[in-house]
Amino acid sequence: MLFSDITLLDETLTPREHMYLGVRDGRIAYLSDVPPEEEYGEVYHGHKKLLMPGMYNVHTHLPMTLLRGYGENMTLDDWLHKRIFPFEAKMTGEDIYWSTLLGLAELMRFGTVSASDMYYHGADMARAVLESGMKCSISATALCFDDSPLKALPVYRETVSLFRDWNGKGDGRIQVDCNIHGEYTSTPRVVADMAHLAKELGARVQVHLSESEAEHQGCLQRHGKTPARYFYDLGFFDSPAVAAHCVWTTPEDWELFLEKRVTVATCPVSNLKIASGIAPAAQMLERGVSLALGTDGVASNNDHDMFQDMKILALIQKYRAWDPTAMSPRQALSAATRTGALAQGRTDCGSIALHNRADLVVLNMDAPHWEPVHDLLNTLVYSASGHDVCLTMVDGQVVYRDGEYPTLDLERIYWEVSARKDRILGELGA
């Protein structure tokens, strides 16, 4: 495909008008302000269109699409124990497969090309990702409340088999990470064991960290240290890590993140909805911490529209600091794109540059809320939405275009998800 005479965001997220970008063999093969001499197949005319890098959602629970809207206006404890955990206990591998496909359809509709996910039945998730054409860093969630070693837990066998069978599949589109749910749902022994397994496999790691004040203070009471120091001391951050939320982290924690190059996955909409607080994202950025963006699961968001999270991220940082300059649109956009790609170890992704993988998104700018444009990045972050996306491309393959999903049977997905939701509610007597 050749994107012709289009406005795009270059490698530095600077808008450039009247550009030509050619895609071949899954990569950006041509990038110039003059038309190419060679052919690139279909010509996509760029009038009133914006070409931007695909977005990276670095904290999700994709199968929770099955629980969208199920637990509303509840405290976190009631939400988990009265709604989420009982429902999840009824979910089968096939339920996971179909609800993952629904989550992936939503991602591609809103211009996201990859996710970092924590859940269960990872092989069923991987199958859905491979078929969809999308990217995902999948991890099996480790929970443990006794003194068992990691090797005695089912998650050990699942992680090892996932890594063996799926890591690198789809020309690297699927990656397998190691995962600890959190300090309060595991033990030091299991954390240390998982840290060792990650190094043994050469895998990246994911964890929930300091999401709520109760979690943060509880760790201080149990171990005399913050969750960040706890995982640091157990060697968990010796592998490249994504730490989700980090709402209650301290400046001392940020120094540990810097030392170990931990990426923080901030989830502003979910944190607001659950009332867990506002992460000090702008302060972490100012200190030099790597900041990426996530939606969390749709049971606590309730959608995967990264444009919404990007706007709210910038707004609440201004509110938190009482400073309208606390976070710029460029910083928010970088968190949603290039930093997220790097958090997944995808160094040739997340920006529009020659030879990078063609993970590209086209937005329609021919709409009232785009006019007039004084500064394109301001308009993109504060005015645009995921509904402006008209094309999503992953490794050069179009996965969404003008309401069509070439890799998915959306009607079948809707039917399957609805039927499985009704079955589970019936089993719960709801």
Q: Which domain holds residue 335?
A: 55-343
Residue 266 has pLDDT above 80, yes or no: yes
Q: Looking at the structure, do residues 33 and 80 belong to the same domain, yes or no?
A: no
CA torsion, ordered 69, 277, 140, 241, to nearest 10 deg: 150
pLDDT tens digits for range 69-114? 998 998 877 888 899 999 999 999 999 999 999 999 999 999 999 9
pLDDT tens digits for range 287-321? 999 999 999 999 999 999 999 999 999 999 999 99
Burial class of residue 179 (count of CB atoms within 10 Å of its CB; 0-12, 13-18, 19+)? buried
Look over the chain and give the mean of its residue pLDDT values, rounded to a whole number: 97
Examine residue 425 and state whether it is found in any structural domain, yes or no: no
Give the mean model confidence (pLDDT) for residues 115-134.
Answer: 97
CATH of the domain at 300: 3.20.20.140
Examine residue 228 and state whether it is found in any structural domain, yes or no: yes
Domain count, the chain: 2
Examine residue 66 and state whether it is found in any structural domain, yes or no: yes
Residue 406 is predicted with a pLDDT of 98
Q: What pairing do the DSSP bridges indicate for beta strands 2-9 and 205-209? A: unpaired
Rounded-to-integer distance, Cα 363 and Cα 357, Å: 19
Q: How many CB atoms lie within 10 A of CB 171?
A: 10
Q: Looking at the structure, do residues 154 and 283 belong to the same domain, yes or no?
A: yes
Residue pair 178/197 in contact by the 8 Å Cβ criterion? yes
Q: Looking at the structure, do residues 335 and 369 belong to the same domain, yes or no?
A: no
CATH of the domain at 386: 2.30.40.10
What lies within 8 Å, CB to CB, of 347 at 6+ separation is: 341
Record the tokens describing residue 65, joined without a space.
């699409």
pLDDT tens digits for range 108-124? 999 999 999 999 999 99
pLDDT tens digits for range 20-44? 999 999 999 999 999 999 999 999 9
Residue 385 has pLDDT above 80, yes or no: yes
Give the mean model confidence (pLDDT) for residues 359-375.
Answer: 98
Give the mean model confidence (pLDDT) for residues 274-290.
Answer: 96
Confidence of residue 251 (pLDDT cuts 50, 70, 90): very high
Examine residue 350 and state whether it is found in any structural domain, yes or no: no
Q: Looking at the structure, do residues 385 and 292 belong to the same domain, yes or no?
A: no
Q: Looking at the structure, do residues 229 and 81 belong to the same domain, yes or no?
A: yes
Q: Looking at the structure, do residues 66 and 185 belong to the same domain, yes or no?
A: yes
Q: Strands, E, within 96-237: which ranges?
A: 112-119, 135-140, 174-180, 205-209
Give the mean model confidence (pLDDT) for residues 142-165.
Answer: 95
Q: Looking at the structure, do residues 333 and 185 belong to the same domain, yes or no?
A: yes
Record the tokens describing residue 156, joined without a space.
């050990």
Rounded-to-integer distance, Cα 357 and Cα 53, Å: 10
Residue 425 is predicted with a pLDDT of 96
Q: Looking at the structure, do residues 20 and 85 belong to the same domain, yes or no?
A: no
Residue 76 is predicted with a pLDDT of 77
Q: Looking at the structure, do residues 150 and 250 belong to the same domain, yes or no?
A: yes
Residue 63 is predicted with a pLDDT of 97
Q: Looking at the structure, do residues 63 and 86 belong to the same domain, yes or no?
A: yes
Rounded-to-integer distance, Cα 87 and Cα 81, Å: 10
Q: Looking at the structure, do residues 21 and 136 belong to the same domain, yes or no?
A: no
How far from 421 is each of 107, 122, 292, 299, 387, CA to CA, in Å?
20, 20, 32, 13, 26
